[in-house]
């Protein structure tokens, strides 16, 4: 990366660097991950931050290291990231805003599941909750915004859409994204060594499933 474009800000135990876009932040984050001096490496949508232990590393030294590592980031192609298909049930029970979204996008409600499961997404970042994924659609979609009144409870597995941006709720939580479906797959499983199902950079597509398959995937042991 060209050193001239990098803008740093140094706090006492973390440093952030402004980057041109989400793709660059992702590449930089993946490329820096093996460096042991960083306690945390967190990508934003157009920035990257590293946290360090100031008992062992001076902020000035840390800034020099960070700058060096960022200038060494090569052009990893984004297609090195994995592809994953996530099953989604678009039944009324799981999609309280299907009508709201279909009106605003001018797509008949009955066609919305087929339309949505035909789209390709990238995971731009994980945040908000452990395993909560922000997705960006590769195709152009009109911006429809968030609900005027956020819900106090959105179910785990819910899929929200505001236009090109979509999200996957990993836990039940409050939220204002319009909800069009739900996956039975656990997006964060603390019993797993890698508890988050998704990681930033992954390519995501959705597969429409019916209620039976949803229940089967949600409770495999009952069958």
Partner 1 sequence: MSLHVIKAGLQSSLQGVPYRGHRHIGMPAAGAADCLSLAFANHLVGKEYGALAIEITLDDAKFSIGKKSTLALAGASSFLRINGSDQPKYEAVAVKPGDIVHIGSAKQGCRSYLALSGTFCAQSLLGGQSTYLPAGLGGFSGRSLLDGDDLDWTDPATMPPPTAPMPAKLQTRITNDFIIRITDGPECDWLAPRSKANLTESVWEIGNQTSRMGISLNGRPLQITGSANMHSAPAFSGTVQCPPNGQPFLLGPDAQTTGGYPRIAQVIRADRHLIGQLRPGGRIQFVAITPKRATEIYREKLVQLTRWAGNIHLW
Cβ closer to partner 1: 92 or 148? Answer: 148
Residue 52 DSSP code? -
Cβ closer to partner 1: 10 or 137? Answer: 10
Closest CA to 125 of 12, 11, 23: 23
Cβ closer to partner 1: 62 or 88? Answer: 62
Q: What angle do CA 177, 97, 222 make, to 5 degrees?
A: 95
CB of 71 to partner 1, least distance (A): 20
Kindly determine how many residues on this chain lie close enough to bind partner 1 according to the rule CB under 8 A.
46
CB of 149 to partner 1, least distance (A): 19
Q: Which of residues 5-24 bind partner 1 (CB under 8 A)?
A: 9-14, 16, 18
Q: Is 37 in the site for partner 1 (CB under 8 A)?
A: no
Contacts of 147 (CB under 8 A, 6+ apart): 97, 100, 176, 177, 178
CB of 19 to partner 1, least distance (A): 10
3-state secondary structure 189-218: CCCCCCCECCCCCCEEEEEEECHHHHHHHH
CB of 93 to partner 1, least distance (A): 23
Q: Is 29 in the site for partner 1 (CB under 8 A)?
A: yes
Q: 21 near 125, Cβ under 8 Å?
A: no
The correct pick among 45, 119, 137, 147 for binding partner 1 (CB under 8 A) is 45
Q: Is 55 in the site for partner 1 (CB under 8 A)?
A: yes
Q: Indicate the length of the chain as a whole number.
A: 223
Cβ closer to partner 1: 115 or 128? Answer: 128
Q: How far apart, in whole angstroms, are the C-alpha atoms of residue 223 and residue 210?
A: 16
Q: Which residues bind partner 1 (CB under 8 A)?
A: 9-14, 16, 18, 29, 39-49, 51, 53-55, 58-60, 125-132, 134, 170-171, 173, 188, 190-191, 195-196, 199-200
């Amino acid at each position: 990366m060209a050193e001239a474009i990098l803008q740093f800000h140094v706090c006492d135990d973390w440093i952030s660097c402004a980057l041109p876009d989400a793709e660059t932040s992702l590449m930089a984050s993946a490329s820096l991950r093996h460096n042991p001096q960083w306690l945390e490496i967190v990508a934003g949508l157009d920035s990257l931050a590293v946290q360090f232990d100031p008992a062992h590393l001076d902020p000035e030294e840390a800034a020099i290291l960070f700058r060096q590592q960022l200038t060494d980031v090569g052009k990893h192609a984004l297609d090195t990231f994995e592809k994953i298909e996530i099953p989604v049930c678009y039944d009324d029970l799981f999609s309280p805003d299907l009508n709201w979204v279909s009106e605003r996008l001018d797509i008949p409600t009955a066609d919305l599941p087929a339309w949505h499961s035909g789209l390709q997404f990238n995971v731009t970042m994980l945040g908000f909750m452990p395993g909560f994924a922000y997705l960006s659609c590769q195709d152009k979609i009109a911006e429809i915004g968030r609900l005027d009144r956020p819900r106090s409870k959105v179910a785990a597995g819910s899929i929200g859409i505001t236009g090109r941006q979509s999200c996957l709720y990993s836990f039940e939580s409050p939220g204002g994204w319009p909800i069009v479906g739900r996956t039975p797959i656990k997006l964060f499983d603390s019993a797993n060594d890698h508890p988050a199902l998704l990681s930033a950079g992954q390519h995501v597509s959705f597969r429409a499933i019916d209620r039976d398959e949803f229940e089967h995937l949600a409770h495999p042991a009952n069958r």
